[in-house]
Amino acid sequence: MTFKELDISDPILKALVKKAYSSPTPVQEQAIPIALKGHDLLGIAQTGTGKTAAFAIPVIQQLNRIQPKGTERNIQALVLTPTRELAIQIDDCFRDYSRYTNLRHTVIFGGVNQKPQVDTLKRGVDILIATPGRLLDLINQKHIRLNSVKHFILDEADRMLDMGFIHDIKRLLPMLPKQKQTLFFSATMPQSIASLSKSILNKPVRVEVTPESSVVDTIEQKLYFVEKPQKSQLLVRILQKKRRSVLVFSRTKHGADKIARILNKQGIGCEAIHGNKTQGARQRALTDFKSGKTHVIIATDIAARGIDIANLEMVINYDLPDVAETYVHRIGRTGRAGNGGTALTFCSQEEYAVVKDIQKLIGKKLNAVAISA
Ligand code: AMP
């Protein structure tokens, strides 16, 4: 499936090429066509699944059909999200995906001076990303009117309730026009969220993607106790057995390059991707990997965030990450959509504390494998 097949318009396609997204993630593949048809949506997806683009792209595309011009603008899309960090990230996504349109967007959140936010609002925006408190505040001060909103997105609804925003949401809802599209996203669906969604959505289509943390059961996890100087030998031995697609995680960019050099010397075709590589080089490395030209890719955590590789056979943690949660994200790269997968972890003595954290987090012990001489 390509973005073009999802009927995404040219200015957005061009922006996605610039982002080097080669294909839609599962939540995008499911949600975009529904949202483009104007339906309400109930999306069950976590951060990391590509859910932001799943709502941002159809909103941009629908608003861009109208082509607003000049300063005579009303807020036509409102994204409500619980935290300042998420709000900023979402705003960045809108900036990236709407790069080749005339649409204007801005982000507001509390804890900072409101003046620059109000100034931007006065110049006219089409898309507003907001945390609930500051939004209500600026509405009360008459800096914001929501009566032109056509698309309302409630992001991370479960976190929103956990953080006690239910009353704010209930105050905001009546300020929105009755006639609108609502896209509702939550990572989990407890009873409280289900009933909130029912009260907000109109004949919604439900889209659900498997959260990364629950993929763990379908992945075979193995632990190798190996000291740093012996890690590269072990990696070479494992990769010399036939593998179709392996993602190796390195904690540092320098480490990723070093592993790539060692493997290439041993005739194992591979490439490293990380923040010091140009966008073009990263894209080439991914294309080679996806097409099967290379079988191994070495990545840092940050570089790997944007990679969506279907049918990844194996993930190797050459180094352990700093925090246990990252392990879950890393190994969630394999075993997607119910497929099996294998995750190997190389652990030196000094890294063992992280393994203990990981075992606690996932609620099971990693299988230690003896290394034969
Ligand atoms: P999100 O779940 O929206 O927080 O997205 C997680 C990460 O995936 C972000 O870094 C996005 O830039 C990236 N991303 C979203 N969609 C795609 C895609 N189709 N291909 C590659 N990366 C993507």
CATH topology of domain 219-368: Rossmann fold (3.40.50)
Q: pLDDT-based confidence at 329, cuts 50/70/90?
A: confident
Residue 192 has φ and ψ, to the nearest 5°, of: -60, -35
Spatial neighbors of 122 by CB under 8 A, at least 6 apart, are 143
Which pLDDT does position 361 carry in this prediction? Answer: 81
Q: Is the CB of 128 under 6 A from ligand 1?
A: no
Ligand 1 pocket check: which of 8, 52, 81, 333 to mutate, most ligand atoms within 8 Å of Cβ?
52
Q: Which CATH architecture describes the domain 4-208?
A: 3-Layer(aba) Sandwich (3.40)
Q: Is the CB of 308 under 6 A from ligand 1?
A: yes
Query: Buried b vs exposed e over 348-362: b needs ≥16 C-beta within 10 Å?
Result: beebeebbebbbeeb
Residue 139 has φ and ψ, to the nearest 5°, of: -70, -45
Residues of the chain with CATH 3.40.50.300: 4-208, 219-368
Which pLDDT does position 9 carry in this prediction? Answer: 96
Q: Is the CB of 211 under 6 A from ligand 1?
A: no
Ligand 1 centroid–CA 237 distance in Å is: 33
Q: pLDDT-based confidence at 308, cuts 50/70/90?
A: low
Express each pLDDT in 195-237 by its tens digit.
Answer: 999 999 999 999 988 654 444 567 889 999 999 999 999 999 9
Ligand 1 centroid–CA 150 distance in Å is: 25
Q: Is the CB of 101 under 6 A from ligand 1?
A: no
Which pLDDT does position 140 carry in this prediction? Answer: 97
Query: Which of residues 187 and 193 earns the better pLDDT score?
Result: 193
Q: Is the CB of 50 under 6 A from ligand 1?
A: yes
pLDDT (mean) for 138-145: 97
Q: pLDDT-based confidence at 309, cuts 50/70/90?
A: low
Q: Is the CB of 305 under 6 A from ligand 1?
A: yes
Q: Is the CB of 25 under 6 A from ligand 1?
A: yes
pLDDT (mean) for 115-122: 96
- Kindly report the average pLDDT of the chain as a whole number: 89
Ligand 1 pocket check: which of 2, 8, 21, 94 to mutate, most ligand atoms within 8 Å of Cβ?
21
Tell me: pLDDT of 275 over 80: no
Which of 172-181, 193-202, 256-265, 354-363 shows the lowest per-residue confidence on average (mean pLDDT)?
354-363
pLDDT (mean) for 105-126: 95
Highest mean pLDDT among 236-245, 281-290, 346-355: 346-355
Ligand 1 centroid–CA 305 distance in Å is: 7
Tell me: pLDDT of 177 over 70: yes
Tell me: pLDDT of 322 over 90: no
Helices (H), 201-343: 228-240, 253-265, 279-291, 301-305, 324-331
Report which protein residue has its CA nearest ligand 1's atom 9. Answer: 306
